[in-house]
Each structure stands twice: as structure tokens, then as C-alpha cells.
Chains A and B, each alone.
Chain A
Amino acid sequence: MVDLTRVWDVLVAGGGNAALSAAITARRAGASVLLVEHAPRTMRGGNSRHTRNLRALHPAPTDVLTESYLEEEYWDDLLRVTGGKTDEHLARMCIRASQHAPDFLKSCGVVFQPSLSGTLSLSRTNAFFLGGGKALVNALYRTAEQLGIGILYDTEVQHIEVQDGFATEAVISHHGFPERVRFKALIASAGGFQANRDWLRKYWGDAADNFQIRGTPYAQGRLLRDLLDQGVQEVGDPTQFHAVANDARAPMEDGGLAMRLDCVPFAVVVNRNVERFYDEGEDVWPKRYAIWGRLIAQQPGQVAFAVTDSKALHNYLPSVFPPYKANSIAELADLAGIDAGKLEKVVADYNAAVRPGTFQPMKPDDCRTEGLSPPKSHWARLIDTPPYYCHPLKPGITFTFLGVKVSDRARIIMADGKPSANMFASGEIMAGNILGQGYLAGFGMTIGTVFGRLAGEEAARNVRN
């Protein structure tokens, strides 16, 4: 039984990787720690339970990473995806600390895949969790339990009493019952607000109803809103999110990684009005992966259709839901519920514009169109070999960019620029400090682990003093 009458040294709000890394670190430093997770036990772990790897600096090969990945290259990668919207000091600090993230997680029972079996070309930069994020989350919770950290599931942190940057008490809803928790330091690790459709609607209108939330439905942003309303300084563009092209038939929430579709570069993509709207062959993974969610979100009805033929079927990962399949383009359009005549014309125009080239699925090749608008600049092959296939697409939102501002010691900064006396933050809720836009695969878990550890250390130190 968790004692709600006592004063806890540290209250950790959230239950994903960032929260657990913080809680474990603070507990190891001697503090008493209460971790409050909104989700029930079976769905614990936030977006972290959907992840598969983290990005870690390493000067030499390790048991879980190949070759080497140094600060400058890491920083360049980050600079490229964020287009400079980052904080160099915080980013470099995080990059340097990422070297120790795998070992920290291992010390908490997390198992990594041996480096050789890593998927894609990521095994150099990213260390893969054996079994993925849920296995990681299980290991972290188990360690937390063994260390004697108090854990409340099904409990939402609804409000923090803050006076002059000093937090005193939290209002929580424990299995639906209101309670108060007193503590000496707060660590906010409650993720983004991407699952809060009302909030998204403020910026996106009714389109928000058609967004699929790839991860946890508990990312409601209640704590984030509460802190920002009480004079915590905000970072990141509130209107922006990271999104990928998902299968339109995926669950509206918690569909996870397996719902993403990777067929776009091998297809022509039309919207509901059967018009192409962007160069499908613009770039290689992972960049193309990250822009298509946003592109589809801007289409009517937030839906799109990727059309391929049987030549392309094995160039991308199999999809969970089978694609529509037909022996003619017109029949395919009927199955997908779009105008058959228009689709035939789009495909015919596209086919007429395709120039001969040597197809190379893994890198930008010379198969492109000429005289087509928008063009398809790579991987353009004739769509002429039945059966034809169509994958319906919707935007899948990964996370939002809005967050609380923190120092390089994970301490929350107030709107007036002063550091909070006893509030810290880690993970998605502060990732906007470093990721102003864009995304680098595996960086979310790195930020969560690095800032989680910092927040845990600082909070425990705060309590001792």
C-alpha cells in the first residue's frame, strides 16, 4: 500500500521511460520516491512502450552498437533534422551523456539486442531493445519495485500547487478518487499532449478528429497545461507535431509502430479528390517517413491513397492490413471508394511521364518522371503489372513539440527566466528544448533517459539540501 499521508521526497508524474529513469535515479540516490502513472498497469509506459531503440554516442564498437558514432556527426544529424531549431548547449550535453544511456538501462535490467542483428542501417547509431519498448518498460518497473519506489497506477496528476516557482502539493485522481500528495521535489515526465483532441482542434480544427494517435491515449497534456498556466516558461511550437503515414484502418489510438506504411516511394499517392499532391520519390528513409504524416494531415478528409502494382509489393515491409487488390485500376478505385475515371487518368498520365532508369530500392535511383507535376523524382516505375494494390493512408501523430523550458540540469525554468526551486522535467514534456522541429530516430528515448537521470539526481540533491 502506498502511503498518501506522508511527505514524499520526490513525486514523479508520469510512467514512461523518462519518469522511470528519473524515479530509479532519485531512489538510488537515497530519496523516497512516489511515481504516479495515469494508465492502468496493463497499459503502463506511455509512448515508451511502443519504442524499439535509442540513439547513443560511442567512440568504439560496443556489444550493442557497431563501428563508432561521435559527437560531431550526431550533432550534424540533429542540426539537419531540426533545421537549426535546437539549443546547442543542451543538445551537445545530451549527446555526450547518451554514451552512458545504454549502460544505465542495462543496470535497470533492460536487455539489448546484440549489435549484429540490428535492423536497417540503424545498428551503427541506435541500440535496439530486445522485445522493444514494452520489455524495456517492464524491466524498469521491476527495478523500481525492487528499489521500493511507491507506484500508483490508474492515477492522474491533475494539478500542482506552485508558489513563486516552488511546488508544494499535487492534486491527484486515484482510481477516480481525489487525493493530495505532499512532496519536496517534483519531476514532471508526463509526455506530450498529442492524444488530447480538443487541444489539437484549437490549431487544426475538425481535422483533429481524423488524426490517429500512434501511441498512448493517456498523453492528454494535463500536467503540461497546468504547469504552463502557472507561470512555467514554454518551448516549442504548440501547433506542431511529428507524424507519419499510417494505415487508414489502424486504431485511432495506440496502434503503435506496426501501423506505419512504407510504400509511398514505390507508389503514386493521391488524395480523396484523386489528385497527386507531393513528390513521392523525394527522399530516402527516414526523412520521407517523417514528412508524409504532415502532408496527409493537410489533405481533405486527412486521407490519401497509395497505388502500386505487383512489381512493387515486395519492395516495402508487409502491411498489417492487406492492401486493396484488383486486376484493373478502375476496380481498385472502386474498392478504395475513390473516382475510378480520375484514378485511371492519374495513373495513365504518370505512366506516360515515367522515364527509363535502373531501379534501386535502397537508394535514390534514376527512375523519375518528366513533365509531370508534381514530379516523382526517384523510384518511378510504370504501374502496369496487375494485380494492382492500394494502401489507404492517414496521418499518425507521434508526439507534440510543445513543452516546458528546462536548464542543463533538468530544472524547470519559470516564465520570468528564474529556475524553479524544486521542479524538474524529463522526456517528451521537455523534448522541445532540443527538438524544435523534425525528429531523429531514437532520440526521444535518449532525451528521456539522459534528462530522466539528471532530473532524478538533481531532485534527490535538492531534497538532501
Chain B
Amino acid sequence: MLPENETLAEARRHMAVCNSCRYCESYCAVFPAMTMRREFSAGDLTHLANLCHGCKGCYHACQYGPPHEFGINIPATFAEIRAQSYAHYAWPRAMGTLFERNGTVVTLAAALGVTLVLLLTMALVDPSILYTAQRGEGAFFRVIPMWLMVSLAGGTFGYAIIAMLIGGIRYWREVGGGAPAPGPIVDTAVDILTLRNLGGGGHGCNDVDDSFSSQKRWMHQAMFYGFMMCFAATTAGAFYHHILGLRSPHPFFSLPVQLGTWGGVLLCLGTAGLIRLKIITDPVPVAKRLVGGEYAMLSLLFLVGATGLLLLVLRHTGAMGVMLALHLGLVLALFVALPYSKMVHGVYRGLAIWRHAREKRSSVMVAAE
């Protein structure tokens, strides 16, 4: 459980005001979840914080927002608690400190990832291959041997999954999620896949100021689905390679390249859009300590997408080798950073949304009795 601290005390004070006011009950899932409680343990607050989507609706609507002496600012307070929970549930525990200067950490990971892959490539294959055009079947693997690519990517990704899984399990146990019986999976999936809670109840969020827009939601959707398509592209590539026996580079209109291309485009558009929003948004309802890490992760994702697209464009030229090393280095950095960056929010948010769907269902059942 998060140790008692000032932020939790501050959040508890916020909840006392909100629970008597309740003007924001229709914005998102947080307020209905709040009204189910009167007392707020560290676990409850961690759950509510991870349920919050940071849409800022309740901040701009709050008559108790700064400069009012109550200074209610739910999005910033909850963002801080979220970040604390990422650090607290990190596995191994000691790695939690990486959340402290996350911008630097993610940037360093990117630099190291690229350097490592470049050095390895030069050490393992003839360095001139890096600069000469490689064509035909297996071109990529002449630059970076397949065993190296698979073991690096597979190893880091596997590690990230295990670390995030352990973190997720510890989070669920400590926060008090209850027995993980199959719950309202459909509701949960719909809330996650549509980002319903970034909808402000239908008319959009306060992305920039007190006006409503759905930009953040759409940009995240582009990034999310772009990311997933890139992931699917890799899976399709493996399928082509191992099952169909087709070797890369695949033609432009093949499934892996199509998924990767459009996924990359969406990823770039989404991350660029989110960076833009971050620059122009009203800074008060934002946890300033966390902004660096968010910029770094958004930039890393953008670069992963951008280098992937460049790789596609340049794959028949002499620039392919360097581009491939660059892209792979960034992907490795992303994988390594998954459990120790903003990216873990997917795990905890997903769990919080699932738990809320379960609570909603059981409270409906109680009401019906």
C-alpha cells in the first residue's frame, strides 16, 4: 500500500469536498466510484486516481478550484498519486526510483538502446553492410542477424511483460480489488477501447482550457490503435516467416507492411497531436513533476513510428542499415522502459476500469434487492 503522505492527505481532503458537492457526478467514473465510499483508504485513493483519465472536466467546473481557498484540483492531485503508485508497484521494487526523473530515464534508455544496437551490429557483421544497399529476401537480417533481433526484442519485451504482470498483481492485491473472478468483461473492454472516460459525458473534455473538445481522446486513440497495429504487424511478420515461409522485406501491399505503415502513421499523428496539446494546455490542472516523463515517452513513441516509416521508404537504399539499427534501438528502449515509465498506466488504468465495472454491477444488484 502507498505509505501515508501529503498527497494522499490532500486527496482525502479533496474527496471530502467532492463527496458533499457532487456537481461533477456525470463527468466520469471517478465520481460514482467516490459516492460509493465515505472513507478513503490509501488503496481507495490509488484506485480512484488510476480510474481518473485526467480529462480536467472537474477542474474547470469546480467552484472550489484555485484561487479559492479550498484549491480543489483533482486532475493534478490524482496524476501525482498515479505516478506514486507506478513507482510503488514497480518490479523489482528498487526500480521504482526510475520514476523520479522519468524524462531523463526514458531519454537515456533511447540513447543507450540506439548505441547498443549500432555497436552490436558493427561488431557482429561487416560494418560496410550498414552503408550499402541490401535487397531481396532476408535483406534486414544481413544487417542485423535474425537471432540477435529476436533475442533482443523478445528478451526485453518478455521482461517488460513479466515486470508489468507482477506489478499489476501486487497493485490489485494491495489496493483491494477483491477476488479476480470474471467480471463485466464487455463493459470493461468497451470503456478501455473507446476511452469512454475521456468523453466528459459525451461532449468532450477540457483538453486545453474550459472549452470542450475531443482532441485528446482522438489523439490517444490514434496512438493506441497505431501502436497496436505496429504490434500486429510484427506478429504478422513472424507468422509470414515461420508459418508461411515468406521472408521479409515483404511487398508494400502485404499484411505486415500495410499494418506497420498505417500503424506508424497513426502512432506519429497521435503522439504529435498529444505533444501539441501538452504544449498549449492550461498548466494548472497538470502535475508538473510528471510532464518531463510524458514528453519523453511521447517523443520516443513518435520516433519509433517515424523511424519505422523511414525504414519503409529507405529500405532499398544504402540508408536502410542505419535506419534499421536506429529503429530497432528505439524499439528496444521502448520495451525496456515499458514497466518504468508512463506506459504502465495501461495496466493500472485497465485494472481500475475493470474494478469499477464490477463495483457498478454489484451496487446495481444491491439497489435492485
B208 to nearest A CB, angstroms?
Answer: 12
Residues of chain A within 8 A of B22, CB atoms compared: 119
Contact B26 A256 (CB under 8 A): no
Interface size for B (C-beta < 8 A) is 29
A50 at the binding interface (Cβ < 8 Å): yes
Nearest CB in chain B: distance from A304 CB, A: 19
Give me the 10 closest cross-chain CB pairs, A-B, nearest first.
A131-B61, A132-B23, A135-B61, A258-B21, A138-B210, A258-B20, A113-B26, A134-B63, A320-B20, A320-B16
Report how far A317 CA is from B35 CA in the complex, Å. 10
* Residues of the B chain whose Cβ atoms lie less than 8 Å from the Cβ of A251: 69
Q: Known contacts A117-B25, A257-B21; is A42 also within 8 Å of B67 by CB?
A: yes
Within 8 Å of chain A (Cβ to Cβ): is B145? no
Chain A residues whose CB sits within 8 angstroms of the CB of B66 once the complex forms: 42
Chain B residues near A111: list those with CB within 8 A: 201, 203, 212
| Residues A318 and B23 in contact, CB atoms below 8 Å apart | no
Q: Is the CB of A131 within 8 A of B24?
A: yes
**Shortest Cβ distance from A257 into B: residue:** B21
Given A43-B67, A113-B201, A318-B38, 14 further pairs, Cβ under 8 A = A52-B23, A111-B201, A111-B212, A132-B61, A138-B60, A142-B211, A251-B69, A256-B64, A258-B20, A258-B64, A314-B38, A317-B20, A318-B20, A320-B20
Interface 1/0 per residue, B141-160 and A, CB below 8 Å: 00000000000000000000
Set of chain A residues within 8 Å of B78, measured between Cβ atoms: none
Cα A42 to Cα B26 with chains together (Å): 24
- Option from A52, A130, A322 in Cβ contact (under 8 Å) with B27: A130
Question: What residues on A are CB-neighbors of B38 within 8 Å?
Answer: 314, 318
Are B63 and A133 in contact, CB atoms less than 8 angstroms apart? yes
Chain A's nearest CB lies how many Å from the CB of B68? 6
Complex Cα spacing A52 to B69, Å: 21
Chain B interface, >50% SS class: loop
Q: A111 to B203, alpha carbons, bound, how many Å? A: 8
Interface check A453, CB cutoff 8 A: no
Instruction: Give the residue name and chain of the A residue nearest to B24 (CB).
Output: A131
Which chain A residues lie closer than 8 Å to B61 at the CB level?
Answer: 130-132, 134-135, 138
Residues of A within 8 A of B201 (CB): 111, 113-114, 130
Query: Which residues of A have CB within 8 Å of B65?
Result: 134
Q: Would you give the 0/1 interface string for B1-23, flagging 1 where the beta carbon is closer than 8 Å to chain A?
A: 00000000000000011011111
Of residues 56 through 83 on chain B, the ones whose CB sits less than 8 Å from some CB of chain A are: 57-58, 60-69
Contact A131 to B57, CB < 8 A, known contacts A117-B25, A119-B25: yes
Q: Which residues of B contact A (CB under 8 A)?
A: 16-17, 19-27, 38, 57-58, 60-69, 201, 203, 210-212
Decide if A203 is an interface residue (CB 8 Å cutoff).
no
CA of A131 to CA of B211 in the docked complex: distance in angstroms? 13
Name 22 interchain pairs, CB-CB below 8 A, sorted by A: A42-B67, A113-B26, A114-B26, A117-B26, A129-B23, A130-B27, A130-B61, A130-B201, A131-B27, A132-B23, A132-B24, A133-B23, A134-B60, A134-B63, A135-B60, A138-B61, A138-B210, A258-B20, A259-B20, A317-B20, A320-B20, A322-B16
Tell me which residues across on chain A come within 8 A of B19, comparing CB atoms: 317-318
The answer to the question of A280 belonging to the interface, with a C-beta cut-off of 8 Å to chain B, is no
Residue ID in chain B nearest A117 by CB atoms: B26
- Find out whether the CB atom of A50 lies under 8 angstroms from the CB atom of B63: yes
Determine whether A319 belongs to the interface, using a CB cutoff of 8 Å to chain B: yes
CB distance from B62 to the nearest CB of A (A): 6
The smallest C-beta distance from B72 to any residue of chain A, in angstroms, reads: 10
A320: contacting residue among B17, B23, B62, B68, CB under 8 A: B17
A301 to B21 CA separation, bound complex (whole angstroms): 27
Per the bound structure, the CA–CA distance linking A134 and B24 in Å amounts to 11
CB distance from A37 to the nearest CB of B (A): 16
- The reply on A458 being an interface residue by CB < 8 A is no
Q: Which of A30-57 contact B (CB under 8 A)?
A: 42-43, 49-50, 52
A75 within 8 A of B: no
The complex places the Cα of A43 from the Cα of B66 at a distance, in Å, of: 9
Complex Cα gap A358–B317 (Å): 87
Q: Is A9 an interface residue (CB 8 A)?
A: no
Q: How far is the CB of A90 from chain B (nearest CB, A)?
A: 30
Whether A131 pairs with B58 at a CB distance below 8 angstroms is yes
Most buried by A among B20, B22, B66, B69: B20
Q: Do A132 and B63 touch across chains, with their CB atoms under 8 A apart?
A: yes
Closest CB-CB distance, A118 to chain B, in whole Å?
Answer: 10
Is the pair A130, B26 in contact by a Cβ cutoff of 8 Å? yes
Chain A CB within 10 Å — which of B23, B66, B212 has the most? Answer: B23
The CA-CA distance from A257 to B19 in the complex, in Å, is 12
User: What is the bound-complex CA distance between A139 and B211, given in angstroms?
Assistant: 7
Closest to A112 in B: B26
Complex CA–CA separation, A258 to B13 (angstroms): 13
How far, in whole Å, are A42 and B62 apart by their CA atoms in the complex?
11
A254 interface residue per 8 A CB criterion: yes
CB closest chain-A residue, reference B39:
A318
A47 → chain B closest CB, angstroms: 10
A417 and B212 CA atoms in complex are apart in Å by 47
A52 to B61, CA, bound (A): 11
- Determine the residue in chain B with the shortest Cβ distance to A262: B20
Query: Chain A nearest CB: distance from B367 CB in Å?
Result: 14
Assembly CA distance A134 to B57 (angstroms): 11
